[in-house]
């Protein structure tokens, strides 16, 4: 499957294509939309839609959009419905068609790439295991904050470098890893 990726942040820009490729698909384009603004509709109308239109011109089998829920009060499903409606109307206005898949990380993309707790515990920047502090699931949390509290002195978690390494090595097929992140399960479902 040929996939065009439209992502919100730098971490997603680096990690999503790695995951797509690991699942056997070909990334034909990858763009970083430069972050979302507070207003959900404006984010999709002004930031995401132009990239989706451009991606549609490349005739991918699927356009995969990955954004964060952040602190928005609406559930991911409600946000996704609204976003997909905006994107569909925008594509139709330009006489473009595309198969769209939207994944909303709840609350941040780290809830996806940090779901392999065993891999996380082996990060050399950590002074101790973080998995006991993560809880049963990562959705609705900020696992990076947990990681930041467990860093060795003078070390820091680099969202691009460490995130990319996690995306390259996490056990995507492991059901226990998948069970820790509804957002990861959604991403995998959209790519199968």
Place of tokens 């780290």: 110
Could you read off the pLDDT of 89-132 as tens digits, one per residue?
999 999 999 999 999 999 899 999 999 999 999 999 999 999 99
Could you read off the pLDDT of 35-71 as tens digits, one per residue?
777 799 999 999 999 999 999 999 999 999 999 998 8
Rounded to whole angstroms, how far apart are CA atoms 69 and 14? 19
pTM: 0.95
Please tell me whether the peptide bond between 107 and the residue prior to it is cis, using omega within 30 degrees of 0.
yes
The answer to whether the CB of 31 falls within 8 A of the CB of 6 is yes
What domain range includes position 42? 1-192
Could you read off the pLDDT of 24-37 as tens digits, one per residue?
999 999 999 987 77
Rounded to whole angstroms, how far apart are CA atoms 63 and 102? 8
Rounded to whole angstroms, how far apart are CA atoms 91 and 99? 11
Spatial CA neighbour of 140 closest among 176, 117, 111, 120: 111
Domain total in the chain: 1
Place of tokens 């820790």: 180
Q: Where are the alpha helices (DSSP H) in the chain?
A: 10-22, 40-42, 49-56, 76-93, 110-113, 117-121, 131-134, 143-149, 161-169, 175-179, 182-190
The answer to whether the CB of 175 falls within 8 A of the CB of 10 is no
């Amino acid at each position: 499957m040929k996939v065009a990726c439209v992502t919100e942040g730098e971490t997603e820009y680096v990690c999503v294509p790695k995951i797509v490729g690991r699942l056997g698909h070909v990334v034909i384009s990858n763009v970083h939309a430069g972050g979302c603004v507070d207003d959900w509709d404006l984010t999709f109308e002004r930031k995401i839609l132009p990239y989706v239109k451009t991606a549609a011109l490349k005739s991918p089998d699927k356009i995969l959009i990955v954004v964060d829920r952040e602190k928005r009060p609406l559930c991911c499903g409600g946000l996704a419905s609204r976003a997909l409606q905006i994107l569909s109307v925008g594509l139709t206005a330009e006489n473009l068609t595309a198969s769209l898949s939207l994944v909303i990380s709840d609350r941040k993309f780290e809830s996806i790439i940090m779901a392999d707790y065993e891999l996380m515990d082996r990060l050399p920047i950590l002074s101790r295991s973080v998995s006991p502090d993560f809880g049963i699931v990562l959705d609705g949390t900020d696992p990076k904050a947990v990681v930041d509290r467990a860093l060795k002195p003078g070390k820091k978690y680099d969202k691009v470098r460490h995130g990319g390494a996690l995306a390259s090595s996490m056990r995507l097929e492991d059901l226990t890893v998948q069970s820790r992140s509804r957002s990861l399960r959604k991403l995998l479902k959209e790519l199968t």
